[in-house]
A and B are shown apart, each in its own frame.
Chain A
Amino acid sequence: MNMLEYEIVLKIKIIYGVQGMSSWSMYWTFTKKAFLRSSVYRFEVWSRTGSNIIFLLMWGSIWTALYAGRDEAGGVTFTAMLTYIVVSQFLDGVNEAGTPLWEIQEKVRTGDISLELMRPFDVPLRYLFADFGSVAFYMITALLPLYLVIFYFLDLALPTNWLTWVYFIISACIGFLIRYCVEMTFGLLTFFLVETGGIEDIFYFAMSLLSGSVIPLWFFPSWLETIAVYLPFQAIFFMPISIFIGETTGGEVFTSLGLQLFWLFVCYLVLRMVWNRASHKVVVQGG
């Protein structure tokens, strides 16, 4: 594509941008559409819930066996640990309702995502808002009812202070956004790689272990804990859950939230950089 064509594309974007709806209501439309779309693929919602329950059962059993009847280990009570795993599986369900990594990779490979470059919206934002819709549907129809029942029947440690709930929700939302940025960045790497085999495995490994989603960081060997602390993954699961079960309290909560915001900023910046490079590459190659 030469400079002239590039300018035409740019102009189309500007014209659309001017004539189009005001941008927030446009993105809101993606959210609504995604919500409605999920309601059509109800089988998918059921199946995802099924595997979520199986994994909850698995990690619940593993931690029960690890504690082996002890009331506490490493300064953490068994009830707190069980709560940790249940909340972690809940957050896992929330995060998995978004566009999965392989779908982003597929969209890059088939060129779907390049087509969207022509349209008058910002692609990463558009996917984020679509994710809000599918997450909302999944939460309302499956996750919230399911976990309300689980919280009712299991003997778990719920926060007694309503402020803790507020902090947890804020923290979990920031975690969700960080996960989105990281996953999207990993997905966009497909633009630069011929084969993505190893990439997704690294991502899933980091997401399951370094995020503390199945083993809290305080049970890590200290060298691994140090590594995990300096990576953004712990901000997705470990930080919000620690607030929930009361391991992070008082002033630490604000340090924790501040660190999360820092990581969100960094991850967003990286996503922007990768996205700019990627979309530039498309322009140069002509799709």
Chain B
Amino acid sequence: MTIAKYIKLYFKLVSAGIRAQLQYRFAFVMRIIGMITAYTGTAVTMWVMLYQFQTLGDWNFFEMLFLFALSILSWGFCIILFFHFRSLDTYILNGTFDRFLVRPLNPFFHFMAMKFDIASFGQFLFSIVVFVIVSFQLQLEWTLGKLLFLLGAIVGGVLIQGGLLVIISAFAFWTTKSEQFYWVAMFPARNLTYYPLAIYPKFIQWITAFVIPFGFVNYFPTTVILNKETPYFPDYMGYFSPLVGVLFFGLAYFIWMLGLSRYKSTGS
């Protein structure tokens, strides 16, 4: 099949998914409200934290909000495209994963297109409102170049976080566990990146730059946009976000396919 056909098919599957979700409109609205509440809660916590102290490292409240919102924005896209990868273990254990293998489609693509979670509307709403507020407060001037840079950072962020979700799901091929890895590793790691990485010990900063490249999701791009200093790292790190994203996602895809090749159905 050609790529164009895959794209067409993706939108077909996705529109079916959206229609299915809109059947439960109340649940849909409540989920969005819930997410916005949760993120606002984190933002309020940051505000209370800085009420007495004014700055964390050399970051003030609005700079931290920007950092946080960038993470949430790319996470929103990630939820749409990849969030269901974390529960691959359930599919394998129930034997429902096998249906992705018997169709004339790339199983990775098929599994990816299976779900399209539009409740991430909450993430978009939250992060865009925050971007507007912060832009006014910090008097950011959005040039075309900066907007393109932001777009690149978002693409990079989606690919990096999506890549990690894909790697986590691939664990299920070997261990029949994946969801739990998400809650152990990725959820706390994402929480770490809500705050400037500069405050963490050096080895954590190294891991987030070169091992699990979460630093490229929001921290390095934000330091470029807001002209912040990055101790231990050169200032231009943020420009590599899209490249790191592509490479990391490529690696994730490779690991997933490797796992798939040695997958044996549980026979349930």
Contact = CB atoms under 8 A, between A and B. Distances in A.
Given A57-B204, A73-B52, A209-B48, A65 B34 contact: no
A51 B184 contact: yes
B56 interface: yes
Interface stretch (B25-33, B93-101, B136-144, B244-252): B25-33
Given A209-B48, A219-B52, A200 B34 contact: yes
B230 to A, nearest CB: 15
Given A50-B184, A195-B30, A201-B38, A58 B57 contact: no
B156 to A, nearest CB: 23
A47 B189 contact: no
A201 B26 contact: no
Contact of A50 (B34, B45, B185): B185
Interface residues of B, number: 36
A64 interface: yes
A215 B48 contact: yes
Interface in B41-87: 41, 44-45, 48-49, 51-53, 56-57
A208 B177 contact: no
B23 to A, nearest CB: 13
A63 to B, nearest CB: 9
A247 to B, nearest CB: 16
Contacts of B191: 54-55, 58
Interface string A49-73: 0110011011001101110100001
A229 B178 CA distance: 41
Interface stretch (B14-22, B195-203, B221-229): B195-203
Contacts of B27: 194-195, 197
Contact of B45 (A74, A196, A214): A214
A236 to B, nearest CB: 16
Interface in B178-192: 180-181, 183-185, 187-189, 191-192
B35 interface: yes
B37 A55 contact: no
Contacts of A64: 199
A62 B195 contact: yes
Interface string B213-235: 00000000000000000000000
Contacts, number: 102
Mostly helix, strand, loop or mixed at chain A's interface?
helix
B56 A202 contact: no
B204 to A, nearest CB: 7
A215 B49 contact: yes
A62 B183 contact: no
Nearest to A66: B53
Contact of A204 (B38, B180, B184): B38
A198 B188 CA distance: 21
B201 A61 contact: yes
A170 interface: no
B224 to A, nearest CB: 21
B54 to A, nearest CB: 9
Contact of B41 (A54, A55, A201, A215): A201
B30 A198 contact: yes
Given A198-B33, A208-B41, A73 B53 contact: yes
A66 B56 CA distance: 5
A74 to B, nearest CB: 6
A57 B200 contact: yes
A195 B187 CA distance: 24
Given A209-B44, A220-B51, A201 B37 contact: yes
Nearest to A52: B188
Contacts of A221: 48, 51
B65 to A, nearest CB: 15
A201 B31 CA distance: 10
Contacts of B188: 50-51, 54-55, 58
A224 interface: yes
A76 to B, nearest CB: 10
A218 B195 CA distance: 22
5 contacts: A51-B184, A65-B56, A197-B34, A201-B37, A219-B51
Closest A-B pairs by Cβ, 9 of them: A197-B30, A197-B34, A205-B41, A54-B188, A65-B199, A47-B184, A195-B30, A201-B37, A201-B38
Interface of A: 43-44, 47-48, 50-51, 54-55, 57-58, 61-62, 64-66, 68, 73-74, 194-202, 204-205, 208-209, 214-215, 219-221, 224
